[in-house]
Amino acid sequence: MDLTFVAASPQRFDRFWALEQACHPLPWSESNLYSCLMGNYWGELLLVDGKAAGFYLFQQVLDEATLVNICIHPQQQGKGLGQRLLQHALEQAKARDLAICFLEVRAGNAPAIALYQRCGFNQDAIRKGYYPAIKGDGREDAVLMSKSL
């Protein structure tokens, strides 16, 4: 399996957008995702054997990074690619001399929380009712996590 990482850019928007729609039950809007491919945002697209398989996006403020989005295409899940992508992303943050990484995740997303914990993230707080429910009209809590780099 050949893994390649390519920098996020507006020119690669179509690949990011296709992954966003395939991976998330409530995907971001096109304009929101597009805006995260420039400015104080950065990230990479993961190619597996030349095909888009996942991505990560950070927002950077001073020496802090916030992981705003990460995903692996459903057909590529269960192969360890999520952990490899996250570890690579954290290495890139360290290479930028960032001190800490923050993230938030749906409280009901146990696989993602387990991945973040395996990669050294600690739970800091719960943000009540932060996300719209995936099904129905309710709300879902966010788990706030961080990791020193």
Could you tell me the residue ranges of all domains in the chain? 3-148
Identify the active-site residue in 91, 104, 130, 131.
Answer: 104
Active site residue 41: no
Active site residue 116: yes
Q: What is the mean pLDDT of the chain?
A: 96
Architecture of domain 3-148: 3-Layer(aba) Sandwich (3.40)
- pLDDT category, 1, cuts 50, 70, 90? confident
Q: What is the pLDDT of residue 136?
A: 85
The stretch 57-62 carries a mean pLDDT of: 97
Rounded to two decimals, the pTM is: 0.94
The stretch 66-89 carries a mean pLDDT of: 96
Q: Across the beta sheet with 41-48, what order do the strands follow?
A: 3-7, 41-48, 51-61, 64-72, 100-106, 139-148, 122-132
Q: What is the pLDDT of residue 94?
A: 97
Residue 9: pLDDT over 90: yes
Identify the active-site residue in 56, 116, 131, 140.
Answer: 116
